[in-house]
Amino acid sequence: METIETDVAVIGAGLAGLSAARALEAEGVDVSVIEARDRVGGRTVNEPIGVGKVLDLGGQWVGPGQDRILELIPELGLETYSTFGEGLNLIERKGKVSKYSGTIPKVNPVALAEVGLALKRIERLAAKVDPERPWESELAHFDRMTFDTWMRRHVRTAVARDLLRLAIEAVWAAEPEDISMLHMLFYVRSAGSLDLLLDTEGGAQDSRVLGGTQLISKRLAEGLARPVCLESPVRRILWSGDRVMVLADGLRVAADEVVVTLPPVLAGRISYEPALPAIRDGLTQRMIQGSVIKTMSIYPTPFWREQGFSGQSTSADGPVSVTFDNSPPDGSPGVLLAFFEGKAARDAGELPGSVRQQLVADCLTRLFGEEAANPDRYLEKVWADDEWARGCYGGYFPPGAWTSHGRALRESIGPIHWAGAETASEWAGYMEGAIQSGRRAAAEILAPGGAPV
Ligand SMILES: Cc1cc2nc3c(=O)[nH]c(=O)nc-3n(C[C@H](O)[C@H](O)[C@H](O)COP(=O)(O)OP(=O)(O)OC[C@H]3O[C@@H](n4cnc5c(N)ncnc54)[C@H](O)[C@@H]3O)c2cc1C
């Protein structure tokens, strides 16, 4: 078994771990990054589809307000390009497909007004939540209800509720009845606004990274002094007041401190000796990973563009809930991205891949016509099946968890520090949040008790 002596061990070579390592190294700290997979990037992963062309099977979009990642991309010699969004969007509900423009489908005036009002209410409430300490906010009582409970009280029409359900599924990969209303408000606050979360142009789906987002992690890893220790799943962490021993398959890393950047559910599967305080273990029992199956259907050309469609659509009938034009910047080949989210992803995840592929083809055909029926190629990733993610886009809290266990999300325990997109107070759950959390954990180590970055 190889043994490494270092100042800080970082577990996980996703954006959080690599950002922590980079920030620590910049201050002269010796760091070893330990990663279970045979690659860096975690929940970002590139899939090559021909010479110089790449699709993202994990996190892909960046947008305004995500200042850290937008600065980092050019710093690493990378570029972004705009998400294709020209033309009309489509919505399918009760077997009927309608066209619309903008973010919210104009299905009927009453529903539209109700959705508008609900979104304004949510914005107003979210502004009152402190993203650093949501459990202490004056709205902490919202942790007693799900978003569904809140929606049933404030939104009367079924159409408006369907639209809000679609929005929840798209952002959290979960159902309105799964999520604490306080968590929803925290998340909106952490991103800045609900519009930013939902919008394509000018919002979180604004742009993509040329060459794929995994390149960000690859470049960060290349810049580190020590190579990332790949294929080394961490199983145990032995710790005392000022020393840790990280035990991975085939590797032992002795360090003064450790940064654990795994989603809480996976952090809870590591064995800690001595055992962690009950509040921290309870937290890892409560944060649930969302469910997403990301699929891409590849066609010779983006034929929907010629028909005046943007490729963006949403379906209340499902099982695919959202689609996007995910073609490379030159529009060749044509790629339709389709997501199964929340319950639909859990259900479809149990089906054979060929059946799932047919479900996607059927949905795309209803939306975009017969040309969508037979793609040249179909790609998919069932994130809940991935041993080192167990779901995505990220973790969320059901009712009761923020107020009972929330303070254990970021609070370090002796030499153990917590990072990862789930622990971010800005853009929680996003690549930007992962970077913020990694830098915050590094700052904790560099200046204990200092101001967060
Ligand atoms: C399908 C999908 C679409 C998404 N879309 C977007 C988007 O468009 N925009 C956006 O900003 N975000 C998006 N996200 C979310 C974004 O990708 C994540 O928030 C971000 O990449 C998380 O980074 P992280 O470093 O916190 O966690 P991770 O990337 O999960 O990194 C944790 C690392 O720890 C490793 N690990 C796990 N267990 C162990 C162990 N026991 N020992 C050692 N290593 C271990 C994992 O392999 C992983 O590499 C999406 C995610 C998915 C999956």
74 occurs within a structural domain: no
The b-or-e profile of 163-199 (16+ CB within 10 A means b, else e) is bbbbbbbbbbbbbbbbbbbbbbbbbbbbbbbbebbbb
What's residue 431's pLDDT?
98
Tell how far the Cα of 383 is from the centroid of ligand 1, in angstroms.
10
Tell how far the Cα of 261 is from the centroid of ligand 1, in angstroms.
9
Q: Name the residue at shortest CA distance from atom 10 of ligand 1.
A: 430
399 occurs within a structural domain: no
Q: Name the residue at shortest CA distance from atom 20 of ligand 1.
A: 431
Task: For residue 325, give the H/E element and its range.
Answer: strand 320-325
283 occurs within a structural domain: no
Q: Are residues 266 and 303 in the same domain?
A: no
Q: Quote the domain boundaries for residue 156.
A: 105-198
CB-side neighbour CA atoms (13 Å) of 316: 19
Picking from 142, 166, 198, the residue at the C-terminal end of a domain is 198
Q: Are residues 136 and 157 in the same domain?
A: yes
Q: Name the residue at shortest CA distance from atom 26 of ligand 1.
A: 420
Ligand 1 atom closest to Cα of residue 393: 51
The reported pTM is: 0.97
Ligand 1 atom closest to Cα of residue 270: 41
What's residue 151's pLDDT?
96
Q: Are residues 310 and 260 in the same domain?
A: no
Q: Name the residue at shortest CA distance from atom 14 of ligand 1.
A: 59
Q: Are residues 323 and 428 in the same domain?
A: no
Q: Are residues 312 and 259 in the same domain?
A: no
Q: Are residues 208 and 306 in the same domain?
A: yes
| pLDDT by position in tens, the chain (length 453) | 899 999 999 999 999 999 999 999 999 999 999 999 999 999 999 999 988 899 999 999 999 999 999 999 999 999 999 999 999 999 999 999 999 887 777 778 888 899 999 999 999 999 999 999 999 999 999 999 999 999 999 999 999 999 899 999 989 999 999 999 999 999 999 999 988 998 899 999 999 999 999 999 999 999 999 999 999 999 999 999 889 999 999 999 999 999 999 999 999 999 999 999 999 999 999 999 999 999 999 999 999 999 999 999 999 999 999 999 999 999 999 999 999 999 999 999 999 999 999 999 999 999 999 999 999 999 999 999 999 999 999 999 999 999 999 999 999 999 999 999 999 999 999 999 999 999 999 999 999 765 545
Q: What is the DSSP string of 29-93?
A: --EEEE-SSSSS-TT--EEE-STT-EEESS--EE-TT-HHHHHHHHHTT--EEEPP--SEEEEEE
Q: Are residues 295 and 208 in the same domain?
A: yes
DSSP, collapsed to helix, strand or coil, labels residue 239 as strand
Answer yes or no: are the C-beta atoms of 260 and 375 closer than 8 Å. Answer: no
Picking from 198, 227, 262, the residue at the C-terminal end of a domain is 198
DSSP, collapsed to helix, strand or coil, labels residue 354 as helix
Tell how far the Cα of 100 is from the centroid of ligand 1, in angstroms.
33
Picking from 137, 167, 198, the residue at the C-terminal end of a domain is 198
The domain total for the chain is 3
Tell me which residues have their CB closer than 6 angstroms to ligand 1: 11-17, 34-37, 42-44, 58-61, 233-234, 261-263, 266, 270, 292, 294, 383, 388-389, 392-394, 420-421, 429-432, 434
Answer yes or no: are the C-beta atoms of 47 and 55 closer than 8 Å. Answer: yes
Distance CA 430, CA 66 (A): 9
Answer yes or no: are the C-beta atoms of 258 and 246 closer than 8 Å. Answer: yes
* Helices (H), ranges, 199-342: 214-222, 264-267, 278-286, 303-306
Q: Are residues 337 and 208 in the same domain?
A: yes
If phi > 0 it is left, if psi is from -120 to 50 it is alpha, else beta; for residue 451 that is beta
Q: Name the residue at shortest CA distance from atom 37 of ligand 1.
A: 388
Q: Are residues 151 and 31 in the same domain?
A: no
Tell how far the Cα of 69 is from the centroid of ligand 1, in angstroms.
15
Tell how far the Cα of 214 is from the centroid of ligand 1, in angstroms.
10
Answer yes or no: are the C-beta atoms of 425 and 294 closer than 8 Å. Answer: no
Q: Are residues 208 and 312 in the same domain?
A: yes
What's residue 449's pLDDT?
62
Tell how far the Cα of 392 is from the centroid of ligand 1, in angstroms.
8
